[in-house]
């Protein structure tokens, strides 16, 4: 993904994740090209990750931009981050 994830684009993200979850049991999400994510979209991403886990699909966030990492950290959503992204100062 690249660009902004906000109220205008988060619906498309959810649709694509749900479509992908119909096949594999593991999905990797690269957010290194995302330069903005609003708090509602971050919360939605956490929620969809939990729901997919209940359905047997693991959603992993592999890479995040510094901006996205900062939002996740500020919201206490460190479980969405890989260990390397959590440990970056």
Task: Give me the tens of pLDDT residue by residue for the chain, a chain 89 residues long.
Answer: 889 999 999 989 889 888 887 776 888 889 999 999 999 999 999 998 998 889 888 888 888 899 999 999 999 888 887 655 655 55
pLDDT at residue 20, as a whole number? 83
pLDDT at residue 25, as a whole number? 82
Indicate the Cα dihedral angle 64, 36, 77, 22, nearest 10°.
-70
Task: List the structure tokens of 38.
Answer: 């609003």
pLDDT at residue 61, as a whole number? 87
Phi, psi for 61 (deg, rounded to 5): -95, 110
Contact of 18 with 51, CB cutoff 8 Å: no
Residue 75 to residue 70: CA distance in whole angstroms: 9
| Fold category of 2-86 in CATH | Transcription Regulator spoIIAA (3.30.750)
pLDDT at residue 4, as a whole number? 93
């Amino acid at each position: 993904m690249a660009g902004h994830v906000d109220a205008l684009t988060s619906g498309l993200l959810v649709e694509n994740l749900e479509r992908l979850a119909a096949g594999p049991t593991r999905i990797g999400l690269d957010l290194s090209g995302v330069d903005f994510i609003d708090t509602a979209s971050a919360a939605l991403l956490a929620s969809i990750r939990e729901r997919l886990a209940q359905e047997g699909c693991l959603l992993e966030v592999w890479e995040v931009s510094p901006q996205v990492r900062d939002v996740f950290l500020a919201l206490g959503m460190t479980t969405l981050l890989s260990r390397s992204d959590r440990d970056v100062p």
